[in-house]
Amino acid sequence: MLRRRFRCLTLGLLIAALALSFAACKKKASAPGTGGSGSAAAAPAVKVTLALDDKVVVESAALGATAVPLDRLATVPALDTWIAVEAIDQAGKVHTVLAPAKNHSGAVPALAADDRGAIFGLLRDGKLEQPVATVVKVTVKTRSDAGKPVEGMDHGGAGGSGVGDSGGGGDHGTGGNAADKGVRATPTADLKIAIEGPGGSSTFTGDKMVGLPEVKAPTGDTETPGWSLVDVLAAAGLENVTAVTLTDDENAALRIERADFDPAKAVLYLKLNRSGVIRFRLFRKSGDVWEIAGELRGIKKIKVAP
């Protein structure tokens, strides 16, 4: 009888020891950073710049396959104050989301990453919509062209999405009040654009833009007057062209096709930003709504395309 009790006690102790050993192994396997099923490894740091207007707030972020809202990566104002979000990819192309809170209700701008780099898109129900790969910079815009806060401005909707460009410090180069958005900037001969046309190469200077007709953007910042690319091309001696390629300071290129010269379908809008840099935006009409189809900053060359 005593021997049987001893055997039962020994068996019980053995089972208890095995249970404790199993629990310890399971806990170790689930510890963070060990690759166990209980927790995923920390996401690696991905090089991507996140800016709030003209201020850089993040230069790298821990990103993986799961998208992270921008407001979790940096301290930014409430989403309904954002005029726009601009994402620039490795090729220099600018992808703009106008008034995200109003135009994309239920979605939030977010970043994820793959083996190529950062991915920008709109996070909705756990899925990243309209993804843009190899993104190097994302800018949250909360100010207009004159540096005016978003309060009191149109935040979006058909025909007006409240997008703007803070463009740095200083005025528009007019010598007047930079906050007066109804006054067009006055370019000088210091502004130079290389021209490559059928007749050879030349240099176009900004003083030749003075006196050209005023043009305003069909959506977003509709108050700041600028110029039509068509009028600038004519002033540069390039009339009746059917296609051109624009190149900016970072060698990003944008081709303007024949259909874009139809004013009923597209607006080719040039303006000077607050730091005196010439900017270009291509607006195309989609149904009854105007959308940004392309954008370049610091135009340095215009080439007539074959």
Task: Identify how many contiguous H helices and E strands the chain contains and give both numbers.
Answer: 4, 18
* Inside any domain, residue 258: yes
How far is Cα 84 from Cα 162, in angstroms, rounded to an integer?
A: 7
Q: What 8-state DSSP symbol labels residue 143?
A: B
Within-domain flag for 22: no
Length of the chain: 306
Residue 243: the pLDDT is 92
| 30 assigned to some structural domain | no
Structural domain contains residue 298:
yes
CB 97 within 8 A of CB 91: no
pLDDT over 80 (residue 13): no
Residue 253, φ and ψ in degrees, nearest 5? -120, 150
3-state secondary structure of 286: strand
Q: For the segment 80-139, what is each residue's pLDDT rounded down to a tens digit?
A: 999 889 898 888 778 888 888 888 889 999 999 999 999 999 999 999 999 999 999 999
Within a domain: residue 167? no
User: Number of folded domains in the chain?
Assistant: 2
- What tokens appear for 237 in the block? 């001696």
Question: pLDDT digits over 32-85, tens only?
Answer: 433 444 444 567 889 999 999 888 999 999 999 999 999 999 999 999 999 889
pLDDT digits (tens, 9 = 90+) for 153-211: 333 333 333 333 333 333 333 333 334 456 777 888 999 999 998 888 999 999 999 98
pLDDT of the residue at 217: 92
149 lies in some domain? no
pLDDT digits (tens, 9 = 90+) for 224-268: 899 999 999 999 998 888 899 999 888 888 899 999 999 999 999
Q: How high is the mean pLDDT of the chain? A: 78
DSSP string, 70-117: HHHHS----GGG-SEEEEEETT--EEEEESHHHHTTT-EEEEEEETTE
In-domain check, residue 206:
yes
Range of the domain at 82: 46-141
203 lies in some domain? yes
The number of beta carbons lying within 10 Å of the beta carbon of residue 30 is 12
